[in-house]
Amino acid sequence: MVKIDGRTALYGIIGNPIEHTLSPGIHNAISGALGINAVYVPFKANGDLKAMVKGLYSLGVKGLNVTVPYKTEIIKELYGIDPMARSIGAVNTLKYTEHGYYGYNTDILGLSRELDDEGVELAGRHAVILGAGGAARAVAFLCASKRPASITIINRTIGRAQDLKTDVSQYAAGNGMYELSENVEVLQDTQASELKYDDCIVFQCTSVGLAPNDNEAVINDEEFYKKISTGVDLIYRPSETLFMKNVRKAGKTAHNGLKMLIYQAVSAYEIWNGISVPDEVVENLRRMLV
Ligand code: NAP
């Protein structure tokens, strides 16, 4: 039971649509478990982002998450931005500071923590990204930061994949990873079986397969699935997507995006409150959401 008084700190999420969000349940459960006097609510945005951010800031809202379609547009309303979020070009977490809101991207922190939990090591490996939208951009930069041998971006719209390739190659070169910067490649999704590498770690970052379209996968070619050692689908509803089924049918390991979702929220909570959320609280969140 949430107790609200004159000292309750207010947090929330801005997006549209927002009705489906799981974030209030996650954040309020963490506050409840840790006995922190805070409440987290959804804010349905309707266009005037500048006025909304100004209003929330002047009311002292301590932290905000930002979701579709505002993760990029929000950047111009911030006083500062974390360098990795700047490279990605997307922010999902705002922290109140005395100068204005400061932006982070905790989607990549969330995925990084999921990979640590599952023992997935990217250094020296071949990373493959299905998609070139907002989530794929974050994943591509996370992969690059972990120094893989190569990154292949596979997308329906090849131009978007090429744009992402340019940005990731520049990031790699700018951070001294010259060999990687030469090994970022693109493929059209219809040519996925032409992937050059075996034993790949594949991140499914398209919206294909999202409930209720459980029987769809962006790639159905069996040859492609033979080249995967681990598949990570960012989708968490359904808990086993057709992409994951195909990976498992090929005898390989697959994970969904639930831990990423939980850890992006946990990472935002930690940034806002300057604390570390204990493992047992994270495990209880996972049980609550399975
Ligand atoms: P987005 O920016 O809209 O990008 C969608 C991507 O899917 C694009 O690459 C798009 O290709 C591709 N796509 C869509 N329909 C397709 C189709 N019929 N055939 C082939 N490709 C198709 O979306 P997003 O924000 O990146 O989100 C992508 C997914 O990641 C969503 O399912 C979302 O729920 C999930 N996600 C999960 C987490 C988590 O915490 N677990 C976090 C963020 C996102 P084109 O470029 O050709 O249009």
Query: Under a CB-based contact definition with an 8 Å cutoff, are residues 242 and 214 in contact?
Result: yes
Q: What integer pLDDT is reported at residue 233 of this predicted model?
A: 98
**How far away, in angstroms, is 208 Cα from ligand 1 center?**
7
- Can you tell me the distance from the alpha carbon of 136 to that of 25, in angstroms, rounded to the nearest whole number? 25
Peptide bond into 24 cis (omega under 30): no
Give tens-digit pLDDT for 24-55: 999 999 999 999 999 999 999 988 999 999 99
Buried/exposed 268-287: b ≥16 CB within 10 Å, e otherwise:
bbbbbbeeebeeeebeebee
Q: What share of the chain has pLDDT > 70, as a percent?
A: 99
Q: What integer pLDDT is reported at residue 46 of this predicted model?
A: 87
- Can you tell me the distance from the alpha carbon of 182 to that of 195, in angstroms, rounded to the nearest whole number? 16
Nearest CA to ligand 1 atom 18: 208
Active site residue 95: no
Nearest CA to ligand 1 atom 44: 135
Nearest CA to ligand 1 atom 41: 257
**How far away, in angstroms, is 207 Cα from ligand 1 center?**
4
Q: What integer pLDDT is reported at residue 263 of this predicted model?
A: 98
Mean pLDDT of the chain: 96
Residues 6 or more apart whose CB falls under 8 angstroms from that of 279 comprise: none
The tokens describing 10, both together, are 């207010």
- Can you tell me the distance from the alpha carbon of 165 to that of 162, in angstroms, rounded to the nearest whole number? 5
Query: Under a CB-based contact definition with an 8 Å cutoff, are residues 93 and 103 in contact?
Result: yes
**How far away, in angstroms, is 135 Cα from ligand 1 center?**
7
Q: What is the dihedral of CA 83, 273, 34, 288, to 10 degrees?
A: -30
Q: What integer pLDDT is reported at residue 145 of this predicted model?
A: 96
Query: Under a CB-based contact definition with an 8 Å cutoff, are residues 266 and 239 in contact?
Result: no
- Can you tell me the distance from the alpha carbon of 26 to that of 261, in angstroms, rounded to the nearest whole number? 10
Q: What integer pLDDT is reported at residue 47 of this predicted model?
A: 80
SS3 122: coil
Give tens-digit pLDDT for 86-128: 999 999 999 999 999 999 999 999 999 999 999 999 999 999 9
Task: Find the mean pLDDT for residues 159-171.
Answer: 97
Amino acid at 114: E
Give tens-digit pLDDT for 215-265: 999 999 999 999 999 999 999 999 999 999 999 999 999 999 999 999 999
Q: What is the pTM of this model?
A: 0.95
- Can you tell me the distance from the alpha carbon of 233 to that of 247, in angstroms, rounded to the nearest whole number? 10
- Taking 90 as the threshold, does the pLDDT of residue 2 lie above it? no
SS3 43: strand
Query: Considering only CA atoms, which of 100, 79, 104 is closest in space to residue 92?
Result: 104
Nearest CA to ligand 1 atom 3: 133
Kindly state the helix (H) or strand (E) to which residue 115 belongs, with its residue range: helix 106-118
Query: Considering only CA atoms, which of 106, 36, 26, 27 is closest in space to residue 287?
Result: 26
Task: Find the mean pLDDT for residues 208-217.
Answer: 95
**How far away, in angstroms, is 176 Cα from ligand 1 center?**
30
Q: What integer pLDDT is reported at residue 3 of this predicted model?
A: 86
- Can you tell me the distance from the alpha carbon of 34 to that of 8, in angstroms, rounded to the nearest whole number? 14
Residues 6 or more apart whose CB falls under 8 angstroms from that of 206 comprise: 130, 131, 133, 136, 155, 156, 218
Nearest CA to ligand 1 atom 7: 206
175 DSSP assignment: T
Ligand 1 pocket residues where CB is under 6 Å: 68, 107, 110, 131-136, 155-157, 160, 189, 205-208, 210, 218, 234-236, 257, 260-261, 264
Q: Which of 3, 44, 71, 259 is catalytic?
A: 71
Query: Considering only CA atoms, which of 17, 23, 9, 18 is closest in space to residue 261?
Result: 23
**How far away, in angstroms, is 267 Cα from ligand 1 center?**
22
Residue 1 — very low, low, confident or very high, per pLDDT cuts 50/70/90? low
Task: Find the mean pLDDT for residues 192-198.
Answer: 95
